[in-house]
Structure 1
Amino acid sequence: MIKLILSDLDETLLNDDGSVNAKNIVAVQKFVQDGGYFVPNTGRSYKSVFGTLRDLGLNQQEKQYVVSYNGGAIVEINANGAENIVVQHGMDLELAKSIFSLGQIQSDIDTHIYTLDTLFIHNISKNDERYMKERNVPYTEMTDANLDFLTYEKPIMKVIFEHTNPMVLQKIADTVNAQLADYVLTTFSSNRYVEFNPKGSDKGSAGLELAKMLGISRDEVAALGDNLNDAAQIKAAGVGVAVANAKPEIKELADVVLSKTNNEGAVAEFIDGHIGK
C-alpha cells in the first residue's frame, strides 16, 4: 500500500500555466485524508510551493513536508506557518563560483543561484521572467556577476542555467563537467534548465530519507515525474511513475506509465487508478 507520494511539480502535478488541475486537488485531498503523505519533490525553493500547497488544501496539515532544490533540503511546514529545515545538503561558495563562471559560455545565459531561502537570478531572460511570474516564484535580480555577497547569505543549494536551446544547455553541462564532474550532479528540467547540485544530493535519496523519518518503507513510496531530474526519485521509489508527457528516458525507467498528461490530471489518474490495486 502506498503511504508516501513524492511528486514533481512543473509538467507533472501542475498544468502548463502553473495551476493545479481540479481532479488532482480532489484526489490528493482524499489520499491525505486516508492517512497518506503527499509531498512535492521539486527543484524549486520550498517557498515557491506555498501557493500550490494552499491550492491542494495541504497548508492546514499539522505537518506538511516539501523536498526542494532537487533533494537539497527537506522542509517541514506546520499549520501555523512555522518552517523547519529538517535536512539540508548545500554546496560551498567556491564550488558555486566555479559553476557560475564556467556556465557563462555566451552573453544570453540566464543563471539562477538558490540559497536556502532566496533565489538570485543573473541576466534573467524574458522567457524565464514570464515563467517565474506564471508560477508566482519570488526572486532577487543580481546586478553583476560578483558572487562575494553570498558569503553573508544562507547556504547555497544549487546553481542552474536557463536557455531555450537544448544544444546550449548541453554545452554548458559539458563545460562544467569537464572540470567539476567529481563534485556536481547534473540534471535537466522543464526543457529550459540545466541544473547543478553538489554530488550526492538528488530527489531520490532525499525522498527515501524523508520516508525513513516517517517510518515508511521503500515499497510504500511512489514517485511521479516527467523529466530527467526526476530519474533519481523514479528509480529510488518502490513504484516509479511517469506521466504521459514524460520524456522517453523517464518512461523507460518507470514501473507505471500514465495515459494522462500533466494538463489532464495525471496525478489523479495514479491515485484513483493504481493505489491499493
Structure 2
Amino acid sequence: MLIKGVIIITKKLIALDLDGTTLNDNGQISPQTRATIKQAAEAGCIVSLVTGRPNRLSENFYDDLHLKTPMINFNGNLGILPHQEWSREYQYTIDKQIVMELLAKSKQLGLSLIAVEGRDLFLANKGIKSGFGFFPSTLKTNQILSQKSLRDNPISITVEVKPELKAGLIEFVETQFGDQVEVSPWGGPHPIVEIATKGVHKSTGLKFLADYYGILQKDIIAFGDEGNDATMMAYAGTGVAMKNAIPSIKALADDVTSYTNEEDGVARYLQEHLDLAVSQ
C-alpha cells in the first residue's frame, strides 16, 4: 500500500555484509545501492551492517548509508550504536595473556604481524605494507603492541603468518587455547588468521538484532559472500548469497543474487523482492 508516497512493506531485518557484498570491488557504496537502502529503511525495514571489519573501518560506510541502527562488528563480537554510548552495547573479549604468548613465540610460529583490536583499541607489533588496507603501514608511538601497552582484553587478534606455517599456527592456538578461542583464516590471497572468542559468529550479532527489534527469523534477509557469512545466512529466514560468492556459501544459501557486488547485486535484489521503486 502507499502512504504519502512511501511504499509500506512487511517489516524486515536486512543484514548486510560489507566486503564483496554491499561494497563494490573498489571498496565503495554505489549510488544505486545507497538509494535502495535508503528506500528500504523509509519503507519500514531495519537495515544493519553485520561485518567482520572492526568499527574503525566500517563507521564511514554506516554514515554514508545514513543508518541509525546498531552495527555488528568483528564477526559478531561487538554490537554498538556508532558515535554514541548505548546501554545495550555488548562485546566478547579475549584474555590478553594469549596475545603475550603469541608475542613471545612469534618467531617460532612465523608471525610477521600481530594486531589486537577492540572498540577503541588498536595495537600492533609493526606496520604492514602488504597493501590490503586493513592495517596502517606506519604505527604511531601509542599504537605499538607490548606487554605494557596492552592494558585491556582485546576483541580480536589478527596475525600474518608465513603461508607454510599457517597450519602449525592454527594447531598451536587450538591446542593451547581451543577452549577459549577459535581461529578463522581470512578468505582471499592473504596469509592472515583471525582469533576471536569461541562460539561467537555473525549469527550471534544477527540474533541480538532480531531480539532487540522483535523480528522473527522468517523476516530476516541476510546477504553475504564469504565463509564468515555462513552462520548468519543459516540463521536468517532468507540467506542470500551474492553471485560472486564462494561456492560453499552459494550451496547453503536460500537464494543467489542475479548480479555481483560490482553490478549492484544487493540493490537489485531488494528492489525486486521488496517491490521498491528507487529514483537516484
Q: What TM-score bracket applies, with the shorter chain setting the length?
A: 0.7 to 0.9
Report the equivalent of 2:157: 159
Are the structure 2 counterparts of residues 189 and 8 from structure 1 closer, same or farther at C-alpha, using a change threshold of 3 Å?
farther
Q: Secondary structure at the match of 1:240?
A: strand
Which has the larger share of helix? Answer: 1
Which structure 2 residue ranges, 5 or more long, are not aligned? 1-9
What are the within-5 Å matches in structure 2 for residues 109-120 of structure 1? 109-120=112-123
Q: Supply the distance in 1 between the matched residues of 2:13 and 2:139 (Cα, whole angstroms).
A: 30
Amino acid corresponding to residue 146 of structure 1 in structure 2 = S
Q: Secondary structure at the match of 2:223?
A: strand
Picking from 5, 27, 30, the partner of 1:21 is 30
Report the equivalent of 2:3: none
Report the equivalent of 1:268: 267
| 2:70 is equivalent to residue 55 of structure 1 | no
Q: Secondary structure at the match of 1:216?
A: coil
| TM-score, length-scaled by structure 2 | 0.82
Are the structure 2 counterparts of residues 217 and 143 from structure 1 closer, same or farther at C-alpha, using a change threshold of 3 Å?
closer
Are the structure 2 counterparts of residues 144 and 105 from structure 1 closer, same or farther at C-alpha, using a change threshold of 3 Å?
farther
Q: Secondary structure at the match of 1:259?
A: coil
Report the equivalent of 1:96: 99
Q: Supply the distance in 2 between the matched residues of 1:18 and 1:139 (Cα, whole angstroms).
A: 23
Q: Supply the distance in 1 between the matched residues of 2:51 and 2:259 (Cα, whole angstroms).
A: 20
What are the within-5 Å matches in structure 2 for residues 55-94 of structure 1? 55-58=64-67, 63-77=68-82, 81-84=83-86, 86-94=89-97
Q: Secondary structure at the match of 2:58?
A: helix
* Alpha-carbon distance, 1:88 to partner: 1.4
Are the structure 2 counterparts of residues 126 and 163 from structure 1 closer, same or farther at C-alpha, using a change threshold of 3 Å?
farther
Which structure 1 residue ranges, 5 or more long, are not aligned? none
| 2:149 is equivalent to residue 149 of structure 1 | yes
Q: Supply the distance in 2 between the matched residues of 1:107 and 1:215 (Cα, whole angstroms).
A: 46
Q: Supply the distance in 1 between the matched residues of 2:148 and 2:178 (Cα, whole angstroms).
A: 24
| TM-score, length-scaled by structure 1 | 0.82
Contact 2:202 2:231 in 1 (8 A): yes
Contact 2:128 2:138 in 1 (8 A): no
Identity %: 26
Q: Supply the distance in 1 between the matched residues of 2:250 and 2:243 (Cα, whole angstroms).
A: 8
Higher alpha-carbon Rg: 2
* Alpha-carbon distance, 1:226 to partner: 1.2
